[in-house]
């Protein structure tokens, strides 16, 4: 029996490794959206996180010299606070998160964390200090439990469950016939965009990084999913220095500061109430989105009540 078992076991091992390699390749393709020339300086030091306070100082950036994307952007995220970035599509919001993760270097100006220029620290130390919840999470072809545990390999089942509960995805997982052992990904259960994002939030809760970048999904979500994700985000960003790239204005109401990015510059900044009082671009965006939500709710009422 052992003679059969050993090779079978080996095939299982190779299969798992191969499957892992394939999903890692997917991850790698996602990461290709970065500049291959970013390398550590010979004397790069590990980032020392104290606050952490993030500062963008007069940052300009272009992917293509013909087309500037950011033009002299400055802002500070004080320790433990949340800054939300809003603005029209293509304004450069996600570019700000890519620069903070140092997928690209700024063209001029500088970005610092606790006074250290990102170009002077090791990429490894920078990325381990930042938790990124991307717009589109690629899940590993493995169990949903593994996908959460990946945030901190070796975390106990209890810790994984606690993170899933905080991310508002725990009850959903518990309704699945195989619970945390459910296979997800390409060949497993297909999760919706909102479910995948909550798995990514659970993973980040487990990683517990001092800095957070949340790139909100653009896709439309129903009101309940949106509310669930909102409370998951509130949980993960509590007491962490956070940058939220927001596509839905409902997410930003409680941010300490909101930046409105337009044509590569910060066109307006302030709290939700301050920006509404300014009656500018933010107020316009807010009113437009509120009208759309009201229309959607009215439509849902007529459908439920024929």
Helical H segments across the chain, by residue range: 2-31, 93-100, 123-129, 144-149, 157-166, 170-175, 193-207, 223-237, 272-278, 281-304
Query: What is the residue whose two structure tokens read 């490794």?
Result: 17
Which tokens hold the place of 175? Answer: 């309704």
Phi, psi of 89 (to 5 degrees): -60, 140
Task: Determine the Cα–Cα distance for residues 306 and 295; give it in Å rounded to an integer.
Answer: 17
Q: How far is the CB of 34 from ligand ATP (least distance, A)?
A: 8
CA distance 102 to 279: 35
Closest CB 215 distance from ligand ATP, rounded Å: 8
Q: Which is nearer to ligand ATP, 218 or 223 (CB)?
A: 218
Residue nearer to ligand ATP on the CB measure, 69 or 255: 69
Provide the 3-class DSSP secondary structure of residue 29. Answer: helix
Q: What's the farthest any 2 CA atoms get from each other in the chain?
A: 78
DSSP 3-state assignment of 115? coil
CB nearer ligand ATP, residue 33 or residue 291? 33
Shortest distance, CB of residue 83 to ligand ATP, whole angstroms? 15
CB closer to ligand ATP, 215 vs 228: 215
CB of 93 to ligand ATP, least distance (A): 4
Q: Which is nearer to ligand ATP, 94 or 237 (CB)?
A: 94
The torsion defined by the Cα of 206, 207, 210 and 214, in degrees rounded to 10, comes to -80
* Cβ-based nearer residue to ligand ATP, 83 or 202: 83
Residue 133 Cβ vs ligand ATP, minimum distance, rounded to whole Å: 14
Minimal distance, residue 75 CB to ligand ATP, in Å: 15
User: Which positions lie near ligand ATP, rule CB under 6 A?
Assistant: 33, 63-64, 69, 87, 89-95, 247
């Amino acid at each position: 029996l052992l003679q059969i078992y050993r090779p079978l076991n080996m095939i299982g091992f190779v299969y798992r490794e191969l499957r892992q390699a394939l999903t890692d390749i997917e991850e790698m393709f996602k990461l290709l959206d970065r500049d291959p020339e970013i390398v550590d300086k010979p004397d790069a030091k590990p980032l020392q996180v104290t606050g952490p306070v993030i500062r963008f100082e007069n940052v300009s950036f272009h992917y293509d010299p013909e087309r500037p994307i950011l033009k002299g952007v400055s802002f500070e995220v004080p320790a433990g606070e949340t800054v939300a970035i809003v603005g029209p599509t293509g304004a450069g919001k996600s570019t700000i998160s890519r620069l903070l993760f140092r997928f690209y270097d700024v063209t001029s100006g500088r970005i610092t964390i606790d006074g250290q220029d990102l170009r002077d620290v090791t990429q490894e130390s920078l990325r381990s200090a930042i938790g990124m919840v991307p717009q589109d999470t690629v899940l590993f072809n493995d169990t949903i439990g593994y996908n959460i545990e990946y945030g901190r390999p070796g975390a106990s089942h209890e810790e994984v469950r606690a993170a899933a509960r905080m991310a508002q995805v725990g009850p959903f997982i518990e309704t699945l016939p195989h619970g945390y052992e459910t296979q997800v990904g390409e060949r497993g259960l297909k999760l919706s965009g909102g479910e995948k994002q909550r798995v990514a939030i659970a993973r980040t809760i487990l990683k517990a990084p001092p800095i957070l970048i949340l790139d909100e999904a653009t896709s439309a979500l129903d009101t309940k999913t949106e509310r669930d994700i909102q409370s998951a985000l509130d949980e993960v960003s509590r007491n962490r220095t956070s940058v939220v790239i927001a596509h839905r204005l409902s997410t930003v109401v409680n941010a300490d500061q909101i930046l409105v990015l337009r044509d590569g510059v910060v066109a307006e900044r302030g709290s939700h109430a301050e920006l509404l009082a300014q009656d500018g671009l933010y107020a316009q965006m807010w009113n437009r989105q509120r009208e759309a939500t009201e229309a959607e709710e009215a439509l849902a009422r007529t459908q439920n009540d024929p």
